[in-house]
């Protein structure tokens, strides 16, 4: 149990699980429930995923974690789009990356000159 707790406490695992939830599980659930295609795109891609991208960038900067953690969400999203959606949705991955990087850059403390 300690090993599992230690494994789940790692930042890469946390961001990976959140990304899996948003890239694979929510689109699958929305498809099986029968939510219309347009509503899925608006809520999943535009609202929820963009808020998540900004939050991930903010948390990575605030907790001073490695910058490569920002890449987890867009990469897993691209794989999820390949499985569930058409080619038009690939354009959201660079948008999520840019939003994460911008929120990371805005939150990252500036170096203090001596």
Q: What does the H/E/C string look like for the chain?
A: CHHHHHHHHCHHHHHHHHHHHHHHHHHHHHHHHCCCHHHHHHHHHHHHHHHHHHHHHHHHHHCCCCHHHHHHHHHHHHHHHHHHCCHHHHHHHHHHHHHHHHHHHHHCCCCCCC
Sorted by where each begins, the domain ranges of the chain are 14-106
Residue 1's contacts (CB-CB under 8 Å, 6 or more residues apart) are none
pLDDT (tens place) for every residue of the chain, 114 residues total: 888 888 888 889 999 999 999 988 988 888 899 888 888 888 888 899 999 999 999 999 999 899 999 999 999 999 988 887 777 778 889 999 999 999 999 886 667 666
Asked if 92 contacts 80 with a C-beta cutoff of 8 angstroms, the reply is: no
């Amino acid at each position: 149990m300690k090993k599992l707790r230690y494994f789940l406490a790692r930042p890469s695992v946390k961001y990976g699980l959140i990304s899996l939830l948003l890239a694979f599980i929510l689109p699958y659930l929305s498809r099986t429930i029968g939510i219309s295609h347009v509503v899925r795109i608006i809520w999943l891609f535009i609202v929820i995923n963009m808020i998540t991208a900004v939050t991930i960038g903010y948390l990575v900067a605030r907790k001073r974690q490695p910058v490569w953690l920002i890449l987890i969400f867009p990469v897993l999203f691209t794989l999820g789009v390949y499985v569930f959606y058409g080619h038009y949705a690939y354009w959201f991955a660079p948008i999520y990356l840019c939003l994460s990087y911008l929120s990371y850059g805005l939150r990252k403390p500036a170096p203090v000159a001596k």
